[in-house]
A and B are shown apart, each in its own frame.
Chain A
Amino acid sequence: MRPEQILVPMPSGLCSKAGGFHIDPTRPVDKALITHGHSDHARAGHGHVLATQETLDIMRLRYGDNFAGSTQAITYGETLKLGDVTVSYHPAGHVLGSAQIAVERKGLRIVASGDYKDVADPTCAPFELVPCDVFITEATFGLPVFRHHDAAGEIRKLLHSVAVFPERAHLVGAYSLGKAQRVIAMLRAAGYDKTIYLHGAMEKITAYYQQRGIDLGPVELVRGAKKAELAGTITICPPTAMSDLWSRRFPDPVLAFASGWMRVRARARQRGVTLPLVISDHADWDGLTKTITATGCSEVWVTHGEEEALVHWAHMQGLKAKPLAIVGYGDEEEHEAESPLPPQSGGEGAEKKEAKP
């Protein structure tokens, strides 16, 4: 049995002919298994979607009730027979509801890990190691310069800055699903108990996290707050909002950005960030390499990111390894993190809309 008889990498995602499904397809398909709710993995328009309840809820929040023809929820650890293969979902530690999908046939197990991280996150279930023969991994931070181990230290850095600049507002750019809520939860863990303000784009997902029992303390929409009231406060917003008209409502804002990309200074400078916070929801280099080793796999497939270095590393460990070059993953972050300006068409309209409180 060759792994390709279970899962075939296609440009549009991973396809299982034997099981009759795709994993995280980047175009509409009949039957989709979704690892997590980020828009580059979870797209609308599939015939049938299998995912964790949280991921289904998040897709519904983002795309509306008709995001798929039909849906089915699966819990972590539950096993399901699909065609000739068996699938099960396991926590990936990436965001709320995120899962790795194990696909098994005749004793050969492939784990498609989606996006994952191997460090603590108070807002989602911790990564679970699933031993396998083939491990399919991302490589968003697949270079040995990416090391994200001290997220708590980064939160201390933010709080120190708030103490040094009580007359300024602190804006923290964070992806609206996962990172925003994690930053809030970590601020709470560090003892920060004041109201944390939110950009409107964070509202629905944050409320959903709270509804799922995750304690985020007092959070409020920033809309309506007066400029003077915002001195000394922390506001979480999408990264693009920081350089937008929207940011003018804040007194001399300190621009922080919570992202693994902030590890590299040029990336932070390009974005005009003055307080980079190295907090990532993806495994860093050590996390990727340790996880691959720990699965005991003999073969590694790399879906997206800095695959060259990771494939090179795997070969040095005597593992079979290949890049899959799946087009379209990493786009949610690219969209939120990389585009310094709104898209050309309609950009002005979008800015103006946000400018009104």
Chain B
Amino acid sequence: MNRFAELLDRLAYEPGRNNKIKLIAAYFRETEDPDRGYALAAMTGALTFKNAKAGMIRALIAERTDPALFALSYDYVGDLSETVALMWSAASVSPGAHARAGLSPQGSGEERELMWRGEQRDLFEIPKPERLLRNDPSPTLAEVVETLSTLGKAQLPAQIARWLDVLDETGRWALLKLVTGALRIGVSARLAKTAAASLGDKEPDEVEVIWPGLAPPYTELFAWLEGRSDKPKSSDPAPFRPAMLAHAIEDGDLDALDPADFMAEWKWDGIRIQAVAGRDEHGDMVTRLYSRTGEDISKSFPDLLTSLRQPGAIDGELLILREGRVQSFNVLQQRLNRKTVTPKLTQEFPAHLRAYDLLADETGDLREYGFAERRARLDAFVTKLDDPRIDLSPLVAFTTWDDLIAARADPATGGAGDDADAVEGVMLKRRDAPYVPGRPKGQWWKWKRDPMVVDAVLMYAQRGHGKRSSFYSDYTFGVWNGDDELVPVGKAYFGFTDEELTEIDRFIRRNTVAKFGPVREVTHEADTGLVFEVAFEGLQQSTRHKSGIAMRFPRVNRLRWDKPPREADRLETLEKMLKQGAISTPLDSAKTENQS
């Protein structure tokens, strides 16, 4: 438990993804089974303990502390688990219990002599509690997990108290986080699996593939990763297959490609998912929906799950369809991240799968076939399934690149029709490309519609984290409103090179007009200030921003050192863009879940 606690403690402060992976991998290397497996389970969200609630923790501490001291402490710390973790053993120290036997009231000269030779002594050495006389009595993570899974609600408080008695501050904090299910250490399931995979120099997707067939404490997984046994076989009838990804088209890329080698389809602005159905050993159909990274998201879309009536694995885009028309990402967004899926929600936001690839069917795995072959089978599969919730993503007809350029510029007349608003570009796929996990070169291309750009003025800057911790790298920028005042319209953290970052940082340090904690206000007058060309993918109305507008995926496209702030764009320009409607999709990170 102590080592797991140290890991959580460290992860909670570490902002860098690669550094987190290193820390987790080091822990897996240094820790034995089954503890490390339970740690992996905790980080991937595979553990839940129903009975431990904040109220119980509060009751435990109330029995042990003076209410006034607790109130002052809680007020200072601001987090219940942390306050309890820090105060806990203070509670068991009765005042005056520590006799000063053997202390000479006035230090002798001898004692001072000892000090100069580097001798250490603790004048108030605490009588060693019984636990220190034994060899580390603190529970292992496995003990905690296994005990909690069998313990009844009535015995829980006393057990938690016993553990809290023997753990240190960090251990107590981690225990309380673990049992109340609120780790909040900025580690996703994917990251934890990536760290595990790194033990055996494996790709995280290899772990994803076998993951559904594994259970805590994952001893067979670690045995394989450490080269001590064969790869665990997945007996899962509806496994995840790691996704194939596309490269972005850059200027000039098309010139090197022959249009005859490729097929094109629309790039939909939804969430990329994998819908899998298969029969288990009893002949019962098992159905699952996976996110692009292999997370099981079946529970969120029960309405779509029932449509998976044929064994197979469809790669496609999850969309919300109303009256046959694809809704904007904004609408889909309202269905995502809901804890409970009510009938009202599924009725109002009906889930739909737009299929663009078939990875397996009744005959088995199809990934070795070329895309054209899989596409033909997909066509047959979807026709045979004949379900209103699952349809085929149409191909975009073209013979020359100019045809495709025209379709991309105007999807409505290019074949997308009424659904054109939900198109964010086109996908190009080689006819003969097998389905390969990861991002193989030259097989799939994504070609997004051009981003919107505005010129905006840098207003505030904040220091970044990790490697950027001394740089002002988080920027708030604004445009002019009707009263000729700058109003903030967004924040950008990237898009610039390291050299540009250094220049911006220098500008900020020299042009700071005020400081609010970690934030600097930067000169933003009509004639002095820094103009950014900001690129973004969409706009939406926002009540959170003073400007009433929020940008999706904003980044610094160019530095306009040449441009005085007075020539930056105005709020009306953005409002006009918003009204034109073609780009009314919202800000969200789920954006990255599509085919890109």
- Residues of A at under 8 Å CB distance from B? 76-77, 90-91, 93, 118-122, 124-131, 143-147, 149-150, 157, 161, 164-165, 185, 189, 213-215, 242-248, 252-253, 255, 263-266, 268-269, 272-276, 285-287, 289-291, 293-294, 306, 308-309, 312-313, 316-317, 340-341, 344, 348, 351
The answer to whether B122 and A130 touch across the interface, beta carbons within 8 angstroms, is no
* A143→B72 CA distance, assembly (Å): 8
Q: How far is the CB of B19 from chain A (nearest CB, A)?
A: 7
Q: Which residues of B contact A272 (CB under 8 A)?
A: 463, 465, 469, 518
* A309→B67 CA distance, assembly (Å): 11
The answer to whether B112 and A255 touch across the interface, beta carbons within 8 angstroms, is no
Q: Which residues of B contact A306 (CB under 8 A)?
A: 72, 76
Q: Which residues of A contact B15 (CB under 8 A)?
A: 274
Q: Which residues of B contact A185 (CB under 8 A)?
A: 118
* A150→B167 CA distance, assembly (Å): 13
* A174→B87 CA distance, assembly (Å): 25
Q: Chain B contact residues (Cβ within 8 angstroms of A): what range?
A: 35 or more
Q: Which residues of B contact A309 (CB under 8 A)?
A: 68-69, 72-73
CB-contacts of B57-79 with A (<8 A): 65-66, 68-69, 72-73, 76-79
The answer to whether B124 and A164 touch across the interface, beta carbons within 8 angstroms, is no
Residue of B nearest to A241 (CB): B470
Q: Which residues of A contact B466 (CB under 8 A)?
A: 252
* A213→B421 CA distance, assembly (Å): 76
* A246→B471 CA distance, assembly (Å): 11
Residue of A nearest to B87 (CB): A144
- Residues of B at under 8 Å CB distance from A? 6, 10, 12-15, 19, 22-23, 26, 65-66, 68-69, 72-73, 76-79, 82-83, 86-87, 89-90, 93, 95-96, 98, 100, 103, 105-107, 109, 111-112, 115-116, 118, 120-124, 126, 168-169, 463, 465-467, 469-470, 509-510, 512, 515, 517-518
Residue of A nearest to B173 (CB): A265
The contact sample of 24 A-B pairs, CB cut-off 8 A, is A76-B107, A77-B106, A118-B123, A126-B121, A129-B103, A143-B72, A143-B76, A145-B87, A145-B90, A147-B90, A161-B10, A214-B118, A243-B463, A246-B470, A263-B169, A264-B76, A264-B77, A286-B93, A294-B98, A312-B69, A316-B66, A340-B517, A348-B509, A351-B509
Q: How far is the CB of B119 from chain A (nearest CB, A)?
A: 8
Q: A143-B76, A144-B73, A147-B169 are in contact. Are A125 and B118 (CB under 8 A)?
A: no
The answer to whether A130 and B105 touch across the interface, beta carbons within 8 angstroms, is yes
The answer to whether A122 and B100 touch across the interface, beta carbons within 8 angstroms, is no
Q: A77-B107, A144-B65, A294-B103 are in contact. Are A266 and B77 (CB under 8 A)?
A: yes
* A344→B120 CA distance, assembly (Å): 43
* A293→B96 CA distance, assembly (Å): 6
The answer to whether A157 and B73 touch across the interface, beta carbons within 8 angstroms, is no
Q: Which residues of A contact B517 (CB under 8 A)?
A: 340
* A291→B98 CA distance, assembly (Å): 10
Q: Which residues of A contact B87 (CB under 8 A)?
A: 144-145
Q: Which residues of B contact A214 (CB under 8 A)?
A: 118
Q: A272-B469, A294-B124, A309-B69 are in contact. Are A129 and B13 (CB under 8 A)?
A: no
Q: Which residues of B contact A127 (CB under 8 A)?
A: 123
Q: How far is the CB of A103 from chain B (nearest CB, A)?
A: 15
The answer to whether B106 and A341 touch across the interface, beta carbons within 8 angstroms, is no
* A164→B112 CA distance, assembly (Å): 39
The answer to whether B23 and A164 touch across the interface, beta carbons within 8 angstroms, is yes
* A150→B170 CA distance, assembly (Å): 11
Q: Which residues of B contact A276 (CB under 8 A)?
A: 13
The 6 A-B pairs with the shortest beta carbon distances in the complex, nearest first, are A145-B86, A128-B107, A120-B120, A144-B90, A125-B115, A294-B100
Q: Which residues of B contact A268 (CB under 8 A)?
A: 13
Q: Which residues of B contact A253 (CB under 8 A)?
A: 469
Q: Which residues of A contact B68 (CB under 8 A)?
A: 309, 312
* A137→B448 CA distance, assembly (Å): 67
* A306→B71 CA distance, assembly (Å): 13
* A207→B217 CA distance, assembly (Å): 53
Q: Which of B66, B103, B112, B124 contacts A76 (CB 8 A)?
A: B112
* A164→B18 CA distance, assembly (Å): 12
Residue of A nearest to B107 (CB): A128
Q: Which residues of A contact B105 (CB under 8 A)?
A: 129-131
Q: Which of B22, B77, B118, B120 contacts A145 (CB 8 A)?
A: B77
The answer to whether A348 and B82 touch across the interface, beta carbons within 8 angstroms, is no
Q: Which of B23, B79, B90, B469 contacts A286 (CB 8 A)?
A: B90
The answer to whether A287 and B124 touch across the interface, beta carbons within 8 angstroms, is yes
* A351→B508 CA distance, assembly (Å): 13
The answer to whether A293 and B469 touch across the interface, beta carbons within 8 angstroms, is no
Residue of A nearest to B74 (CB): A145
* A344→B514 CA distance, assembly (Å): 8
Q: Which residues of A contact B96 (CB under 8 A)?
A: 293, 317
* A252→B16 CA distance, assembly (Å): 10
The answer to whether B72 and A165 touch across the interface, beta carbons within 8 angstroms, is no
The answer to whether B19 and A165 touch across the interface, beta carbons within 8 angstroms, is yes
The answer to whether A143 and B73 touch across the interface, beta carbons within 8 angstroms, is yes
Q: How far is the CB of B446 from chain A (nearest CB, A)?
A: 32
Q: Which residues of B contact A125 (CB under 8 A)?
A: 107, 111-112, 115
The answer to whether A150 and B168 touch across the interface, beta carbons within 8 angstroms, is yes
* A130→B104 CA distance, assembly (Å): 9
Q: How far is the CB of A231 from chain B (nearest CB, A)?
A: 14
Q: How far is the CB of B236 from chain A (nearest CB, A)?
A: 34
* A316→B76 CA distance, assembly (Å): 21
* A309→B467 CA distance, assembly (Å): 40
Q: A90-B106, A126-B111, A316-B66 are in contact. Are A275 and B13 (CB under 8 A)?
A: yes
* A18→B6 CA distance, assembly (Å): 54
Q: How far is the CB of B518 from chain A (nearest CB, A)?
A: 6
The answer to whether A157 and B103 touch across the interface, beta carbons within 8 angstroms, is no
The answer to whether A126 and B123 touch across the interface, beta carbons within 8 angstroms, is yes
The answer to whether B510 and A348 touch across the interface, beta carbons within 8 angstroms, is yes
Q: Which residues of A contact B123 (CB under 8 A)?
A: 93, 118, 126-129
Residue of B nearest to A185 (CB): B118
Q: Which residues of B contact A273 (CB under 8 A)?
A: 13
Q: Which residues of A contact B65 (CB under 8 A)?
A: 144
Q: Which residues of A contact B78 (CB under 8 A)?
A: 266
Q: Which residues of B contact A264 (CB under 8 A)?
A: 76-77, 82, 86
Q: Which of B19, B90, B124, B509 contacts A285 (CB 8 A)?
A: B90
The answer to whether A274 and B90 touch across the interface, beta carbons within 8 angstroms, is no
Q: A274-B14, A312-B69 are in contact. Are A245 and B470 (CB under 8 A)?
A: yes
Q: Which of B23, B66, B107, B465 contacts A91 (CB 8 A)?
A: B107
The answer to whether A124 and B469 touch across the interface, beta carbons within 8 angstroms, is no
Q: How far is the CB of A324 from chain B (nearest CB, A)?
A: 19
Q: How far is the CB of A252 from chain B (nearest CB, A)?
A: 5
Residue of B nearest to A314 (CB): B95
Q: Which of B26, B82, B168 contacts A164 (CB 8 A)?
A: B26
Q: How far is the CB of B184 from chain A (nearest CB, A)?
A: 11
Q: How far is the CB of A186 from chain B (nearest CB, A)?
A: 10
Q: Which residues of B contact A285 (CB under 8 A)?
A: 90
